[in-house]
Amino acid sequence: MEYVTSLINHGLDDIVLGGDCFKNRQPKFEYSKYKFYFALENAWNCRDYITEKFFYNGLISGAVPVVMGPSRDDYEAVSPPNSFIYAKDFSTPKKLVEYLKYLNKNDTAYKEYLKWTTDDLIDIPGHQRETDYCQLCRILHGINIDNIFNPIYQSHLRDIPLFGWPSKPRIVPSLAKWFYGTENSDCLK
């Protein structure tokens, strides 16, 4: 909330905003009337922690998500190209506010973040497709998830098969090491 307060103190309140952190709390179905949606994740530094705030309240509603959560690479792996603003790309909250004000006044620059919506798109890779027990099961069965299940947004690929053929099981010596091995220690508490 301190980050949000800093954004407001630098003039973000001048832009029409929606979301639980701001005064204009709106039901989800009204997010589409806003230009930006702040998808600030609770576990902001945890690998792959991207929730419905990004997918549904941001991308699907038509607002440009301003995100703070896991790494930029994590967001890029599951989103259309140039479809979000990564808050950590800006050295200060003030610089982020200045950029958002620029986009608010410059429709051409703003529409670059929505360009992906003109692609022939059937589905946005949902956050549940690459997580949960389905992903674990694929890996434990030795399915090459990079070839069969590619969570990276690719507009030319329509089908993402889950189990295409029988595969040999494989041994995972330490499920804990595999699952938690590269996670930020703060996220495991």
What's the pLDDT tens digit per position in 145-174? 554 444 555 555 434 443 444 445 556 677
Indicate whether 124 belongs to any domain: no
Please tell me the predicted confidence (pLDDT) of residue 158.
39
Residues 111 and 85 in one domain: yes
What's the pLDDT tens digit per position in 37-86? 888 887 767 777 888 788 878 888 888 999 998 889 888 888 888 999 99
Instruction: List the domain range (segments joined by +) for residue 148.
Output: 132-188
Residues 56 and 145 in one domain: no
Tokens 């998500």 belong to: 65
Asked whether the CA dihedral 135, 140, 142, 146 is positive or negative, the reply is positive
Indicate whether 126 belongs to any domain: no
pLDDT at residue 97 tops 90 = yes
Residues 111 and 61 in one domain: yes
Residues 111 and 164 in one domain: no
Q: How many CA atoms lie within 13 A of 77 on its CB side?
A: 17
Indicate whether 125 belongs to any domain: no
Asked whether the CA dihedral 60, 64, 68, 73 is positive or negative, the reply is positive
Give the strand pairing for 36-40 and 64-68.
parallel
Please tell me the predicted confidence (pLDDT) of residue 3.
82
Residues 147 and 63 in one domain: no
Q: In what order do the strands lie in the sheet with 85-86?
A: 36-40, 64-68, 85-86
Residues 104 and 174 in one domain: no
Residues 71 and 149 in one domain: no
- This prediction has a pTM of 0.64
Residues 161 and 110 in one domain: no
Residues 107 and 159 in one domain: no
Q: What is the 3-state secondary structure (H, E, C) of 39-70?
A: EECCCCCCCCCCCHHHHHHHHHCCCEEEEECC
Which of 18-32, 43-57, 82-96, 107-121 has the largest mean confidence? 82-96
Please tell me the predicted confidence (pLDDT) of residue 44.
67
Indicate whether 93 belongs to any domain: yes
Top pLDDT among 4 and 26 is at: 4
pLDDT, mean of residues 132-155: 56
Residues 79 and 143 in one domain: no
What's the pLDDT tens digit per position in 5-24? 888 888 887 565 555 555 55
Residue 32 in contact with residue 13, Cβ under 8 Å? no
| Count of other CB atoms within 10 angstroms of residue 85 | 20
Residues 14 and 95 in one domain: yes
Residue 66 in contact with residue 39, Cβ under 8 Å? yes
Residue 102 in contact with residue 16, Cβ under 8 Å? no
